[in-house]
Structure 1
Amino acid sequence: MPEQNSDPKSNGKIRVITNMLKTALKLWLKAQVTQVSQIEVDIRASDRQLLSGKIPWVSIFASHAVYRGLHIGKIQLVAENIQVNIGSVIKGKPLRLLETVPVFGELSMEEQDLNQSLSSELLATALNDVLVKLLPEHCTKTKSTAWQKIILDTNQIILSGILASEGESTPIKICLGLQLINAQELQLAPIQIQYDMVVQNESNQEHNFDLGPEVDIQELTLIPGKLVCRGRINVNP
């Protein structure tokens, strides 16, 4: 619980610092994205903690944000034990994290969000990594891939695109079953691949993708038209 302070001047000072931190956090968050519709920040800390730059708990809600070309419908984040450069913030300088912060959150993306993100380097790289794993023999001949559409179904993703190689353009459609097998790994199965309108591969062979040690996914839900992800990720200074 925040400390109680009966000194009106002290309370006023804390309110000013709290407002400054909220403003600095919003500015820092907006600097991470190219577009955002709404950001709400809630800070819970005692007077002593605020003055030392330690924030035990912060909640952040954002809607319709664009991060590196990736469109995100809604995101709710909670971070604990944050250390920031409070002295610099008070002097009007940008907020900066001083230590790695584990952030717990829930991310919601509609099918239209993903389709608007097809030009994102982040999403294109992830889709191309999937393609290389599933069709290595075709990818050695492919100069580029233009992803055109993503459909979200129950525990399944359907990808459509065009492969360009040696002056030819070939349509491709991939149906992927998707599930979370542990906190750091995704599994693709079953898989159906249509290459040049003909089914080339259909199997229950499993393909796993390691998300790395900085990620701890607790829930991944795919329903028609929507993806929901809940878990933790480390945010580095």
Structure 2
Amino acid sequence: MPHLDFSLLLQGQYREWLLSGFLFSLQLTAITLLLALPLAVLVALLRLAPARIAQALGFAYVEGVRSVPLLVHMLFWYFGAPEALPEGVKAWLYAGNIEAAAAVIALTIYSAAYMAEDIRSGLRAVPHTQLDAARALGFGFLASMRLVILPQALRITVPPLISQTLNLWKNTSIATVIGAAELMYQAQRVETASFRGFETFAVVTAGYLGISLLITALAQLYQWRYPVRLRAS
């Protein structure tokens, strides 16, 4: 059995590569979450709006995005979308950190589609009598949702949204296909340079596992601390 040596990866340049990839994956997760949540709320409201055109737009977004693999989203926003832009704009994009931008766009659009369905379920879980009461008091649909329904629905959907955050954290690894310098990308650099495949990917696995367990623990803590109780009216 070959001798295992983790010390090589925990010092010097290899440690810096892995740490920078780990931090960048966390940044991707945080930025995407901040962008995806408002988009998901908007899509969920569209799906429940009285206007059929709004419902159709929400439905088309969710089904269209979820029917395409995340890998394809990544490749489209990195290779495909810039080709539709003027040459000057395209050159400017590729001169910058287009890998990170494409990863954020793809992850945001993809994650928002799944989060929107969780939020829509939360909105539907709030008793309809509360919406009727708000409308009877003179509130419009958007005001009723914003002031009465949405605050309760978001509290209901926190556990599934945390679960989607867990999926988002793991999905950042797919950004390696477009050269985004996240954890998997840096792990491949370390493995190629050090020839320590087992140790490298064991460390990476521990990194993904640690954050995943933390997110899971936060979900369980939230459910214990804030149990969902809905009023009938």
**Does TM, normalized by the shorter one, top 0.5?**
no
Q: Tell me which of the two structures has the higher relative contact order, counting C-alpha pairs closer than 8 angstroms and 6 or more residues apart.
A: 2
Structure 1 or 2: more helix by fraction: 2
TM-score, normalised by the number of residues in structure 1: 0.26
When normalised by structure 2's length, the TM-score is: 0.27
